[in-house]
Structure 1
Amino acid sequence: MAIESLDRAFAALGDPTRRAILARLALGEASVSELAKPFGFSQPTISRHLKVLEQAGLIEGGRDAQRRPRRLQPEAMRELTDWLEHFRATWDRRFDNLDRHLATMTQKET
């Protein structure tokens, strides 16, 4: 994932409303009005949030007759997860090293 795409994705994820929208879309596609309902937002307000998520590549719009459902874009979510996994693996190794070091120090004290 390109740096610009990562920046847009993380900026989009920085807002709790957009994270809640993604959580809802993880359950299945939904229309703008369905997505707006739990927040009590106007359609223009929720549409602005959806536009940010679409520009970040995290969701996509569709067309089903009169309905325009939104759905998650799984590939973008996978790319974010893959990027984060590198850091998780690095920190896991560092914490394991720290655990070993602290265990050694404790053994020396006793």
Structure 2
Amino acid sequence: MLDTRRGDVAVVFDYRRYQRDVVELAEQLHERGAVIVLFTDRWLSPVARFAEAVLAADVAGPSPFDSLVPAMALVEALVAAAVDRLGSAGEDRVRLFGELADRVVEGLPEQVNR
């Protein structure tokens, strides 16, 4: 947060039973000039009042608990759109991330790497 400058983008995830520390961190980033992109539910986190973009997903599901499956689909769609928009630079970055993740997994002990 110390290096946040005007125009930086902060992606914030805050769903029902909103967390005060998340709201406070997002507000401080906003005050430092960051653009806030909020992923939240249909009831809207308090972060929505100063977010530049609010991406809400319905979390009601057939279980007694909220489901984040729709939220994950929204994240995947946004990442796919960003990679597509960046073209080869985005594809290269995803490929490099995959290679890094593979190296990390290869370095784990066998019992964890299953």
Look at both structures and tell me which one has the larger radius of gyration over its CA atoms: 1
Q: Which has the higher contact order (CA 8 A, sep 6+)?
A: 1
Q: TM-score, normalised by structure 1?
A: 0.33
Q: TM-score, normalised by structure 2?
A: 0.32
Between Structure 1 and Structure 2, the one with more helix by share is: 1
Between Structure 1 and Structure 2, the one with more strand by share is: 2
